[in-house]
Amino acid sequence: MNTRIQHIPLDRLVPHPDNPNRMSRANFEKLVRNIERTGRYEPLVVRPCPDRRGFFQIINGHHRCQALRKLGRASAQVIVWKVDDEQTDIFLATLNRLNGRDALEKKLALLRRLRTRIPARKLARRLPQTLGQIERLTHAGPVAQAVREKAGAFATPIVFFVDEEQHRKIEEAISAASPSCEGRTRAAGRAAALTLMAAEFLATDGDRGEKSLHRK
């Protein structure tokens, strides 16, 4: 597969209609500022457009392309892959999702090192973390200490889709469990409530399993 970097005019790049990746407005603005400040970015991955001769369809790098357009750039650095529709669909489904997880202690050390050179407010304009998150994670107080004591633990996103009725029941259950999770941020409280509900279910389900074994 070709990995040679080429420069292709932005008006020859077209987004894939089924690209599932979305970036928040705040993070997109950070991406724009980082490219504007450094002039560097990861090359886009494209393929020859199947239905427009001379054009290239973006597989990975839709937001980088938008950022370059916003900055008034004429072309983008790209890598051209000659892949069919099936391979393209697989890449679209995986390229933005096959990410590792941060080793917490190393991430904290990196943030603290950056903060010694760059003010937190300015750092927040460049990194995905908010100003509050950066201040909490790099502060030498009890919050940062508690996080460091959990080194090896990861904040892992869980994404699932529910219908309206399922959503209502889940929200009611979280609200019922939340009083047991006071003293946390809202996100941490909801995560703790979901964990508590899962633990209760597993305990109950285990009891049912034992009873079923006894009946046999």
For the chain, what are the domain ranges? 5-94, 104-149, 164-215
* CATH code for the domain defined by 5-94: 3.90.1530.10
pLDDT surpasses 60 at 24: yes
pLDDT surpasses 80 at 43: yes
Please tell me the number of Cα atoms within 13 Å of 182 on its side-chain side.
Answer: 2
- Mean pLDDT is lowest, of 65-79, 102-116, 142-156, for 142-156
Tell me: the pLDDT tens digits for 159-173? 667 778 888 888 888
User: Is the whole model's pTM more than 0.75, yes or no?
Assistant: no
Rounded CA separation 12/6 (Å): 13
Tell me: the pLDDT tens digits for 44-63? 999 999 999 999 999 999 99
Cβ neighbors of 93 (< 8 A, separation 6 or more) are 20
For the chain, the average pLDDT equals 79
Tell me: the pLDDT tens digits for 124-138? 888 877 888 888 777
* CA quadruple 184, 187, 191, 197: dihedral sign: positive
C-alpha distances in angstroms, 115 versus 39, 125, 140? 22, 13, 12
